[in-house]
Amino acid sequence: MPHGPVRWPLVYFDCHTTEQAGWTVVAVVGELDLASVPGVRSSVVAATQNRKPPYVVLDLAGVEFIDSMGLGVVVGARKRVYAVGGELRVVVATERVQRVFALSGLDTLLPLFKSLAEALVPPTGGVGDGA
Amino acid sequence: MPHGPVRWPLVYFDCHTTEQAGWTVVAVVGELDLASVPGVRSSVVAATQNRKPPYVVLDLAGVEFIDSMGLGVVVGARKRVYAVGGELRVVVATERVQRVFALSGLDTLLPLFKSLAEALVPPTGGVGDGA
Amino acid sequence: MGREVLLEIPARPEYLSLARQVVAAAAALEPSFRAERIDDLRVAVSEATTNAIESHLDRGSDERIVIRCNLADDRIEVEVFDRGAGFDPATASTAPSADSEDRLEHERGLGIPLMRVLTDEAEIVSDPDGTAVRLVVYTPRSPQ
Amino acid sequence: MGREVLLEIPARPEYLSLARQVVAAAAALEPSFRAERIDDLRVAVSEATTNAIESHLDRGSDERIVIRCNLADDRIEVEVFDRGAGFDPATASTAPSADSEDRLEHERGLGIPLMRVLTDEAEIVSDPDGTAVRLVVYTPRSPQ
Ligand SMILES: Nc1ncnc2c1ncn2[C@@H]1O[C@H](COP(=O)(O)OP(=O)(O)O)[C@@H](O)[C@H]1O
Ligand SMILES: Nc1ncnc2c1ncn2[C@@H]1O[C@H](COP(=O)(O)OP(=O)(O)O)[C@@H](O)[C@H]1O
C-alpha cells in the first residue's frame, strides 16, 4: 500500500511566537484538537496583549490535523483581536486543513492566506508601532 | 513532545528486485513482520532461481520495523542461497533494525553491511555470470 | 471473520489522537477507501470522541470511552460510546448556519454539523446514561 | 483515572501494525519513556501479538485478540490475551542460544527469547483455553 513510511504515532504539537514585518506571528505545528487548543489559546492571548492594537498572524501552515476545537480557537482569536481594534490573519497551507475551514463555512468569513509571505503584507489600517 | 510530525498510520510495505553489479538486490521498504514476510520470502525465492549460483543482497536499509518474523525470513534466505552454493549479504542501515539483529545474536552470524554500496563489492568467490 | 476493532481509552484529551489513529489505520486496511475520505472520517471521529471525553470530564467520570470500528467491503462504521449525562441532539446548541456572519461569534457548536457533512451517515442516540454516535462512510463503489 | 487502553483486533496479520501503534502511542504519553525503549516495547508487543494471532489462525478461531496497555508513572505494562490452544512456555521450541552457529538453522523460535530481552519483565501464562503474555518496561528513573 503505497502511502509513505510509517512513523510511530506520537502526540505532536508545538506553538511558538515571533515578530515579523510588524506582525506577531503565532505558528502552530502538529495536531490542533481538544488536547492542544489550550496552548494555542494562551499564545493568542499573549500576542493580543503584546501590542495595541494587535496585528496577529495565526500561522497554521504546519498543522497536520484540525477539528472543530481548532476552528473554535481561531474564531476566538479573531474576536479577541478585533475587540481591541487589531487585525487577525490566518495562514492555511494544506488542503486537508482548508477543507475543514470550508466545510464549516469559515473560509469565506475569515481572512485566510495560502502562505505566511502573503499574510505578511501590511495590515489594512497600516502597521501601528504601538501608538 | 518533540518527536516529529504525525502521519496517520498505514500498513506500509514494498519489496522490489533489481540487478546491480552482478548481485540480485531485493530491497525491502516498510515494516517487516508476519503480515509482510510472505512478500519478501517469494522475492527471495525468485532471486535464488534467477541465476546459479545466486548472489543475493537483501537490502533492509528502508526497513522501519523488524521483529522475529523478519529475522526468520533473513535466516531462511541465507539457508536457501547457501544450499545452492550462492552468497547472501544483508544491508542493515538503521540502529533500530541493527538492535534487533544484535539482540538475537544474528549480527555476528550473518554478513551485515551498513550500506548497499558496501554490500555490492564482489562476492567472496567472484561474481559468476550464470556459468 | 469480521474486521471489527474495539478501542477503550481514558476520557482524557491526550487520548484523542490515539482514537483517530486507530480508526484511520483500521480504515486504511480497506484499499478502496481514498486517503481524503479517511481524513474526513478522522475529523468526524475526533468530533464524536471529543464530545464523549468532555461528557465524562463534566461528570467527573472515571469510565473509559469505547470506540468500535467495523470495516465492511462497502463501508466503514465507527461507533463512539460514552456514559456522560447525555443531551438532546435535536436542540443541542450548534453554531448558526454556515452562511451567516453570526457564525463568527460561536467558538463552540461547530462539531456536530461538521461530523454530519463529513460522513455519509451520522446518527446520535442519547439518554441521561450516555450517548452513542454512529458514523458511516461508504466506499466509493457502493451506492450512497 | 487510570491510563489504561484496551484494544481488540481481529486475529489477522494485517492488524499487527495497529497493535504496535496503539501501544507505542499509549507509551509515548508518558514523557519519561525514551524513544528507544518504546521501540523495544513495539518489538516485544509484536512478538506476543504475532503468536496470539497465529494461535487463533491455527485453531480457525474467529475471536479477537485482546491487548491491554496500562501506563503508570513508573512503568508500562502490556498484556496480550488469546484463546488459542495454548502451549508450555517451559518446553516451547525456541532457537538455540545466541552464540551457537546452529542458530542459523532456525527460522522460528526467535520470538519469545527476543520478547524477554527487550522487556524488564515478561511472563507467559498458558493453558489449553488460551495464553496471556504480560510485558513490563520500567521508566528510566524507577528501580529495575
Ligand atoms: N456525547 C455527548 N454527551 C453530552 N453532551 C453532548 C455530547 N455531544 C454533544 N453534546 C452537547 O452538544 C453540544 C454541541 O456539540 P458540538 O456541536 O460537538 O459542539 P461543541 O462540542 O464544540 O460544543 C455540546 O456543547 C454539548 O452540550
Ligand atoms: N500464544 C501462543 N499460543 C500457542 N502457542 C504459542 C503461543 N506463543 C508461542 N507459542 C508456541 O511457542 C513457539 C515459540 O514461539 P516464538 O519463540 O515466538 O517463535 P515462533 O513464533 O517464531 O515459532 C511457537 O512456535 C508456538 O508453538
Average pLDDT over residues D11-24: 94
D61-100 residue pLDDT tens: 999 999 999 999 889 999 999 999 999 998 886 666 655 6
If pLDDT is split at 50, 70 and 90, which confidence band does A130 have?
very low
Average pLDDT over residues C103-124: 90
Inter-chain touch A9–D28, beta carbons under 8 Å: yes
If pLDDT is split at 50, 70 and 90, which confidence band does B97 have?
very high
Per DSSP, the three-state class of D14 is helix
Comparing A111 with D141, which gets the higher pLDDT? A111
Nearest-CA residue for ligand 2 atom 12 is D92
If pLDDT is split at 50, 70 and 90, which confidence band does C94 have?
low
If pLDDT is split at 50, 70 and 90, which confidence band does C142 have?
low
- What percentage of chain B carries pLDDT values higher than 70? 85
What pLDDT, on the 0 to 100 scale, is given for residue D142? Answer: 52
Number of Cβ within a 10 Å radius of residue C134: 18
Note whether C42 contacts B: Cβ–Cβ < 8 A: yes
Inter-chain touch A3–B10, beta carbons under 8 Å: yes
Answer whether A33's CB lies under 8 Å from C17's CB.
Answer: yes
Whole-prediction pTM value? Answer: 0.89
If pLDDT is split at 50, 70 and 90, which confidence band does C87 have?
very high
* pLDDT at position C90 over 80: yes
What pLDDT, on the 0 to 100 scale, is given for residue B7? Answer: 39
Average pLDDT over residues B12-37: 93
Answer whether B33's CB lies under 8 Å from D12's CB.
Answer: no
A60-71 residue pLDDT tens: 999 999 999 999
If pLDDT is split at 50, 70 and 90, which confidence band does A124 have?
low
Comparing B66 with D104, which gets the higher pLDDT? B66
Note whether C3 contacts B: Cβ–Cβ < 8 A: no
Chain B residue at shortest CA distance from D43: B67
- What percentage of chain C carries pLDDT values higher than 90? 72
* pLDDT at position C93 over 60: yes
* pLDDT at position D101 over 80: no
- Residue B118, phi then psi, degrees to nearest 5: -65, -35
Q: Which chain D residues have a beta carbon less than 8 Å from that of A9?
A: 21, 24-25, 28
> Is the beta carbon of D112 within 6 A of some atom in ligand 2?
yes
CA–centroid distance for C22 within its chain: 13
Q: Which chain B residues have a beta carbon less than 8 Å from that of C24?
A: 8-10
> Is the beta carbon of D87 within 6 A of some atom in ligand 2?
yes
* Residue to mutate (ligand 2; options B32, B67, B68, B100; most atoms within 8 A of CB): B68
Order of all β-strands in the sheet with A23-32: A13-20, A23-32, A55-66, A87-91, A112-113
* pLDDT at position A7 over 50: no
* Residue to mutate (ligand 2; options D46, D50, D54; most atoms within 8 A of CB): D54
What pLDDT, on the 0 to 100 scale, is given for residue B126? Answer: 56
What pLDDT, on the 0 to 100 scale, is given for residue B2? Answer: 30
Average pLDDT over residues C72-79: 93
Residues in chain B: 131
* pLDDT at position B9 over 50: no
* pLDDT at position B6 over 90: no
From residue C90, alpha-carbon distances to C113, C124, C127, D119, D127 in Å are: 12, 10, 12, 51, 52
If pLDDT is split at 50, 70 and 90, which confidence band does A81 have?
very high
> Is the beta carbon of D46 within 6 A of some atom in ligand 2?
no
D19-75 residue pLDDT tens: 999 999 899 888 888 889 999 999 999 999 999 999 999 999 999 999 999 999 889
Chain D residue at shortest CA distance from C63: D1
C21-71 residue pLDDT tens: 999 989 988 888 888 999 999 999 999 999 999 999 999 999 999 999 999
Degrees, nearest 5: CA angle D12-D14-D16: 85
d(CA D41, CA D34): 11
Per DSSP, the three-state class of A63 is strand
Cα D51 to middle of ligand 2, angstroms: 5
Task: Check whether the bond before B53 is cis (ω within 30° of 0).
Answer: yes
